[in-house]
């Protein structure tokens, strides 16, 4: 158990819809990261938040957004969903060493 909790574990939704994925980081970790893993691609970094502020952006689509709340949990919002957005979405958190990240078990999103 990494200490990072992601909900829901599975999500099935239709094209055009909007969903919210939730992440609770390890206790005390200020950094939260979101990654996407599609079947035909590796782990793609989407975005990082540090203590409530956006810190770094990766290959995140404009239809996607995220935020980190004062209690440090984070949400990833995916809108106008397309079939190609079907993937595993991982959240990770880290303390002082951003290289030592702890990943949740992921949310498997299926867009039909």
Partner 1 sequence: DAKTTQPPSMDCAEGRAANLPCNHSTISGNEYVYWYRQIHSQGPQYIIHGLKNNETNEMASLIITEDRKSSTLILPHATLRDTAVYYCIVRPSNNAGNMLTFGGGTRLMVKP
What is the C-alpha to C-alpha distance for residues 4 and 26, in angstroms, rounded to an integer? 5
Burial class of residue 35 (count of CB atoms within 10 Å of its CB; 0-12, 13-18, 19+): buried
**Which range in 10-18, 60-68, 70-78, 98-106 contacts partner 1 by CB under 8 A?**
98-106
Longest CA–CA separation in the chain, Å:
40
Taking the complex as a whole, how short is the minimal distance between the CB of residue 8 and partner 1, in angstroms?
Answer: 15
Please identify which residue in 5, 13, 22, 45 interacts with partner 1, judged by CB under 8 A: 45
Q: Which residue has the tokens 């990240």?
A: 101
- If one asks whether residue 74 binds partner 1 (CB under 8 A), the answer comes out as no
19: which strand partners?
A: 78
Binding site for partner 1 (CB under 8 A): 2, 4, 31, 33, 35, 42-43, 45, 48, 50, 56, 58, 88, 90, 92, 96-106, 108
């Amino acid at each position: 158990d990494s200490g990072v909790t992601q909900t829901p574990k599975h999500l099935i939704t239709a094209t055009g819809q909007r969903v919210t994925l939730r992440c609770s980081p390890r206790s005390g970790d200020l950094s939260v990261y979101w990654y996407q893993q599609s079947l035909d691609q590796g782990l793609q970094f989407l975005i990082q938040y540090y203590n409530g502020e956006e810190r770094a952006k990766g290959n995140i689509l404009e239809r996607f957004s995220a935020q980190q709340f004062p209690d440090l949990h984070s949400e990833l919002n995916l809108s106008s969903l397309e079939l190609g957005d079907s993937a595993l979405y991982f959240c990770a958190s880290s303390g002082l060493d951003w290289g030592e990240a702890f990943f949740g078990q992921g949310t498997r999103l299926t867009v039909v």
